Structure 1
Amino acid sequence: MPTLIGFGAILLWAALALLTSLTTRLPLFEWLALTFGLATLLSLPMLLRRGALASLRAVPVGGWVLGIVGLFGYHAFYMLALKNAPTAQAGLIAYMWPLLIVLLSMLGQPLGRWTLPVIGGALGLVGAALLVFDPAEGGFRAEYAAGYGFALVCALLWSGYSVLNRRFSAVPTVAVVVYCGAAALGGLGLSLAFEDWVTPRGLEWVGLVGLALGPMGLAFFVWDFGTKHGNVTLLGALSYFAPLLSTVLLVLAGRAQPSWALGLATLLIVGGAGLAALGLRRRAVTDAEAGVP
């Protein structure tokens, strides 16, 4: 059940591109501040539950550092990547995080157990590449090295946060309210320092609220729970469904056209997830037969 709850984040992230398309006029760091700020406001009632504030006082420093660096660090470096490299190329590098989750979560396991999950994660990455990479932007170029580096850092930050989160399984999910608040303040500071403020209007507010409710809000709460208590290796492999479902939503909304790449990506991502799940299933059976808890 925790893994299924974590998968809910992947479903919510599928709406990220569609909702973001309503807010493209806004500067990147301002967008970050507003989405996380609204997410914080909408989730504040969680702090009113009995014992919520008391539970936060027991959170160790390491838990706060991991959560805040995970949420704010990932998004801040992603925004820097978008400012310093073509969008498709930065997005492709950043979307290495699901494969990195699979690899990092398998550390310490016998090499024989790596085969199917890693192949599954790699197939998912290829499928995602078909969806996010735009050949029209050209190949990778040295002049965008800084942007590529920022994208790689954000992939490492999110995968590291997702895998290490299990070590803080005692930290209540309500702590994500504080993570979001810290990310909002960080985004606001960067926006005031480097951008001109653009006042949102009309449908932009609809997009911002939708983002705060779903892919930039609730998604982080269910992901936190899933990575702490579920199968993080499987969640990593399943995460490639996000760009696939995102593209499908854009097609249904008339903001993208169906293509052969979408069909092939579907086969690769679904097949990759199936291989990863099969590998994990075999591992569970082997452990059960050997009496490993």
Structure 2
Amino acid sequence: MSSAMGSKKLLASLLGAMGVVLWATETTLITFTTALPPLQTVALAFMFAACLTPFVCWATRTHPLAAFRQPALVWVVTVAALVGYHACIYYATQKAPPAPAALLQGTTPLMIVLGSALLPGERLRWWHVVGAVIGLCGVLLLVEQGGEAGQSGGHAVFYLGLIGVAAALWGLYSLVSRRFADVPSSVMGTFYGASAILAGLAHLWLEEWTQPSLQEWLAVAALGMLPMGLAIFLWDYGVKKGDIQALGAFAYVEPFIGALLVALLAGAALEMNLLWSGCLVVAGAVLASRSLWRTPKRPAAPVLRPTIPEELAHAHNYLLSRILDLHRAGMVSTGSLTELNTLLGELDLVMKLWDEWEEVRPQPSGEYALAQAHSIAA
């Protein structure tokens, strides 16, 4: 049973890690949409993301209307996090100094790893903390490489504050999602549609429509399908069913892969700092996911009391006697039928316990078995 649960947790964690890798394409794709208003970009991207819903519902055998059976709190938290995070990021990254902006975005994984210790059933271990710190060092090294690239404007503090709010919002959402573990991840498609409507209304109120070019339409569609669509599907499933500490630390890989993609697609030279930061990020992610790969300790052998057979036999005889009494009484009342069902359930439990005892009890030696046979024959 524990090995099956461990395999499911590993699979969920790997799917969540795939979502992180898909997120890395967001930085590159955003560079093709900088001429579009942020809220317009968010609304259009979530519109494309919502188009994935039929495929996801078919693949997961989930009813398309399952989202409408979720509590209002799930709707409010999810839609607010989706729209708030992406709107802040898309707006601020166009104007904030790039190095501090990347640093603030890089604090989200650290918040997830450390904050997960407050979740029920979770325990923060030393490898989670050390792995998160190593990953943060990798992000710092990556930021240092581009530290001279941006110039601080008069409103830089405001834009950096927006990025900080977005990072905190996404970290908090990832932690809260763990409390919604019973909500299927496939319903995210419906939340994408609601997010597209909300972002679209905000766009009409705060911005003016800008007609996208063909290249911008393709970039927005890719944003919706990959980092804002499929990636969040996978991430949501991972944080609900997988190792949230390991996923939080693995999220440090995202800025490294994003920087690598930008460098490759933009034709920029690959600096050594990028290589070293990548090594630190990957090392931190591997260390933080130690709980997924280490061999679990075998449970201690159960303590077997010599009186267990007698106790089970006594319970067995009592239940049979009570069932026979009810049978002789005719079982005319509803209460008698209820008691009979209860007794039958308890009798079934006793028989299962007896079978388990037979499997784990120590086998008698040959001399002991021979003596038992002689005593029975006598």
Q: TM-score range by the shorter chain?
A: 0.7 to 0.9
**8 Å Cα contact 2:98/2:147 also seen in 1:** no
Stretches of 4+ aligned residues off by more than 4 angstroms: 44-51, 137-143, 279-282, 288-291
Describe the superposition over 1:170-189 as per-residue Cα deviations: whole angstroms up to 9, x where unpaired: 11222211221222223223
Name whichever of 73-82 and 218-227 sits farther off.
73-82
Match of 1:207 in 2: 219
1:34-45 correspondence runs (5 A): 34-44=44-54
Measure, in 1, the Cα distance between the counterparts of 2:222 and 2:65. 30
Match of 2:164 in 1: 152
- 2:236 corresponds to which of 210, 221, 224: 224
Using the TM superposition, give the Cα deviation of residue 273 of structure 1 relative to its aligned residue in structure 2, in angstroms.
Answer: 1.2
CA contact (8 A) 2:108 2:170 kept: yes
Moved more, 36-45 or 92-101: 36-45
Asked if 1:63 corresponds to 2:69, the answer is: no
Q: 1:21 to 1:140 in 2, by over 3 A?
A: closer
**Residues 107 and 136 of structure 2 are in contact (CA less than 8 Å); yes or no, is this contact kept in structure 1?**
yes
- Structural RMSD (CA): 3.0
Partners in 1 of 2:275 and 2:300 — Cα distance?
A: 41
Matches of 1:237 and 1:178, distance apart in 2: 28
Classify the secondary structure of the residue corresponding to 1:106: helix
Alignment of 1:119-158 (within 5 A): 119-132=130-143, 134-136=146-148, 144-158=156-170
Question: Are 1:243 and 2:274 counterparts?
Answer: no
Please state how far the C-alpha of 1:285 moved relative to its aligned partner.
3.8
Matched residues in 2 for 1:91 and 1:189: separation?
Answer: 29
Show the counterpart of 1:98: 109
2-structure distance, mates of 1:202, 1:274: 40
Contact 1:119 1:276 (8 Å CA) reproduced: yes
Deviation at 1:142, TM superposition (A): 8.5
1:52 to 57, 63, 70: 63
Deviation string 1:8-34 (CA, Å, 9 cap, x unpaired) is 101111211222222222222211111
Q: What one-letter code is carried by the residue in structure 1 that aligns with 2:217?
A: W
Are 1:77 and 2:95 an aligned pair? no
- Aligned partner of 1:229: which letter? K
- Farther-moved stretch of structure 1 (9-18 vs 273-282): 273-282
Separation of aligned partners in 2, 1:54 and 1:71: 20
| Residue in 1 that maps onto 2:126 | 115
Q: Relative to structure 1, is the Cα distance of residues 18 and 121 closer, same or farther in structure 2, using a 3 angstrom cutoff?
A: same
Structure 2: distance between partners of 1:268 and 1:48: 39
Per the normalisation by structure 1, the TM-score is 0.85
Which of these residues, 97, 100, 113, is aligned with residue 86 of structure 1? 97
The percent of aligned pairs where both chains have the same amino acid is 34
The verdict on how the C-alpha distance between 1:114 and 1:144 changes in structure 2, with shifts beyond 3 A counting, is: farther
Q: Does 1:234 align with 2:212?
A: no
Shift in alpha-carbon separation, 1:272–1:139, aligned structure 2, 3 A:
farther
TM-score (norm 2): 0.68
| 1:51-106, Cα deviation, whole Å (9 max, x unpaired) | 61442232112221221122112112323533663243233212211111001112
Higher-Rg structure is 2
Identify if the C-alpha distance between structure 1 residues 130 and 256 changes in structure 2 by more than 3 Å, giving closer, same or farther.
farther
Letter paired with 1:5: L
- Asked if structure 1 preserves the Cα contact closer than 8 Å seen for 2:178 and 2:239, the reply is yes
Q: Is the 8 A contact 1:33 1:183 kept in 2?
A: yes
1:240–1:269 Cα contact (<8 Å) kept: yes
Deviations 1:95-124 (A, max 9, x none): 211111001112379xx9543211211221
- Residue 99 of structure 1 aligns with an amino acid whose one-letter code is L
Q: Highest relative contact order (Cα 8 Å, sep 6+), 1 or 2? A: 1
Match of 1:9 among 19, 25, 28: 19
Q: Secondary structure at the match of 1:207?
A: helix
Higher mean alpha-carbon deviation, 257-266 vs 88-97, is at: 88-97
* Structure 1: gaps spanning 5 or more residues: none
Measure, in 2, the Cα distance between the counterparts of 1:51 and 1:135: 47
Consecutive unaligned residues of structure 2, counting only runs of 5 or more, are 1-10, 302-378
- CA offset at residue 141 of structure 1? 8.4
